[in-house]
Structure formats: structure tokens, C-alpha cells
Amino acid sequence: MTMITRNTHDTDTPHTAREAAPPSHAAPKEHARNRTTHGRGPGSYAVITAVTLFVLVFLAPFAIILVNSFKTSADYRANGSLSWPEQWNWDIIGDVWERVDFTQKLLNSIQISLGVVVIAVLVALFNAYAIGIGRIRWRTAFLVFFLGVNVLPQEGLVYPIYYLFKETGLYDGKLGYTILVGITYSAFGTYLLSSVFSTFPKELIEAASLDGAGRWTILWRIVLPMSWPTLSVMCVFFFVWSWNEFLYPLVLLISNDNQTVPLGLSVTQGQYTSDPTALSAAALLGVIPMIAFFLVFQRTLTRGLTAGAVK
């Protein structure tokens, strides 16, 4: 998800979020370690070399844009895209940074994504509290509703949203956009959390309410802290999804002051067509923040992916 980013991750099924954590990992790992001592023939080195080559070629596009973002246009024209830069030239990156006002785009993306995370997680927490722990009436119907909302394609909603935002003054503003995306993700979060909450230890809730704790207190003091592992995975995912959104920001966030990183870079694409190193630098600027994020949250991202997918 991406869905594609979000792209692919937005239509998943029930599951519990905490599996794939240490217990299930430990046993196979130990086994693998025991067996590493035998069976490394020449064949196994051939296979690992082949896979390594495959992964290197797979990642080559990143390396290519990295190298070419630091060449002068003359260098690129003379030596092509495979050569090492004659000298590392930071001017083009700086130039593209200025031209797309990258600082502003970064701040917009951060602000919007954080806002989306807060809205999506809070709303999902409330929804799931009512459905999974409160066991309210018609809870299955509500769950089906949120599931349906979760798979709705954006292109089926985008025009009326564009129209309504224009009518209400939310158009080209971060507030309406942030709420919209937050609500969209909260449907997924509701689904995920409800299934986690349905296995929540009832005794804890009963004990607390015997002690006089109200629903509000129970939510903040007991349910929230105990579901933090799932919530944190959701935060990481919602942040990435929101950062990577394209259609909604393309339509709803048009001014320079509001554009997000991917949008700011791709809509200015036309400016660089005659300038290959600048185009490469623009791609590099778009890749770097998410690679940095990936390096920090790698485990959460690769593990959390499975949270939504399979029971």
C-alpha cells in the first residue's frame, strides 16, 4: 500500500495485529540457525549470488538517480547515466529544492500526515471501543459499513468532494483535506482495532467499572495503553499512506503553500524535461524522506503489513 502504497493495503481483512511478534518468530529462527552449519555447497553460493544480483538490479534505479542528481548536464550528456560523476555537484539538488520550494512541501507533508494520523487513530479508537468492547447493538452492521467505506475507490468520490469543498471553502486548504484522508483511513483502523478489541480481557473492564471508572476513564486508562502496540503500527502505516497520497492532493491541494512532497515534485515534472539531471534530482528529493522513514521503521512496516492481511 500501496498500495501501492496505500494503493494495496487499504482493503484488508480481519486479523489480530499482534501476531508475527516474538513468539512465532523465535522457533523457526532457532531452527534456521542450527542448520546453517551444514549444506553450503557451491550450488548454494551460486543461488545466493544470483539472488544478490537480482536484488542489486532491482534497486539499481535508486542508485542511478542518486548518481545522476549530482552530475552537471554537460557531464550527463558526455558520459551517460552509468558513469560516476566527474565531480559531485550539489548545485542541481539545491536548484530543484529552491524551484519546488521543497522546505515548504516537506512541512506541508509532515503537518498533513501527522494530522491524518491523529484523526484516523482517534476516530478508529472510538469506533472500535463502541463496536469491539461496548458490543453495541447492530455492531456487525456498523462493521460491514466501515468495511465497505474502506474499499471505496477515491475516484468514485473525488468529484463531489471537490465540488463540496469548493462550496464550503475547504478547497485548497489543509484542514478539510486532512479530515477527509483521516476519516478514510479510520475505516480501516476501525476494522483492525475492532477485531483486536473483541479479544480484550473483559475482567479488566468489569473490575475497573466496579471501582467506579466511567467509560471515558476506561478508554484512556485501560484500553488505550493496552492497545498501544497495534495503535503504533497503525500510526506508522497511516503516516506513510498519507505521505504517498496522490489523487486527492492533486485535485484538492493546488497551491504551492499546500502541496505535498510527491505532488509538488510530479506536477513540476514538465519543467525539467529538457534537463535530465534536474529531473533525476527531483526524483531523489522525493525518495529520500521515505527511505529515511523506512530505515527507522523498517521492522514495523514489514511486520505491520501482515497485521491487516491474514488471520
Of 150-209, which residues contact other proteins (CB under 8 A)? 151-164, 179-180, 183-184, 186-187, 190
Site for other proteins contains 210 (CB under 8 A): no
Write the CB contacts of 198 (distance below 8 Å, at least 6 apart in sequence).
132
DSSP string, 186-200: HHHHHHHHHHHHTTS
Q: Which of 53, 61, 91, 202 binds other proteins (CB under 8 A)?
A: 61
Site for other proteins contains 33 (CB under 8 A): yes
User: Do 276 and 201 form a contact (C-beta atoms < 8 A)?
Assistant: no
User: Do 261 and 241 form a contact (C-beta atoms < 8 A)?
Assistant: no
- The interface mask with other proteins, positions 262-291, x = CB under 8 A, is xx-xx--x---x--x--xx-xx--xx--xx
In the numeric block, which cell numbers belong to residue 96? 530543484
Of 83-122, which residues contact other proteins (CB under 8 A)? none
Question: Distance of alpha carbon 43 from its chain centroid, rounded?
Answer: 39
Site for other proteins contains 230 (CB under 8 A): no
3 state SS of 280 = helix
Size of the site for other proteins (CB under 8 A): 117
Least Å from the CB of residue 94 to other proteins: 19
Least Å from the CB of residue 189 to other proteins: 9
Calpha distance 248→59 (Å, rounded): 29
3 state SS of 3 = strand
Q: Which of 100, 124, 252, 253 binds other proteins (CB under 8 A)?
A: 124
Least Å from the CB of residue 40 to other proteins: 5
For other proteins, the closer of residues 97 and 293 by Cβ is 293
Calpha distance 245→7 (Å, rounded): 9
For other proteins, the closer of residues 64 and 89 by Cβ is 64
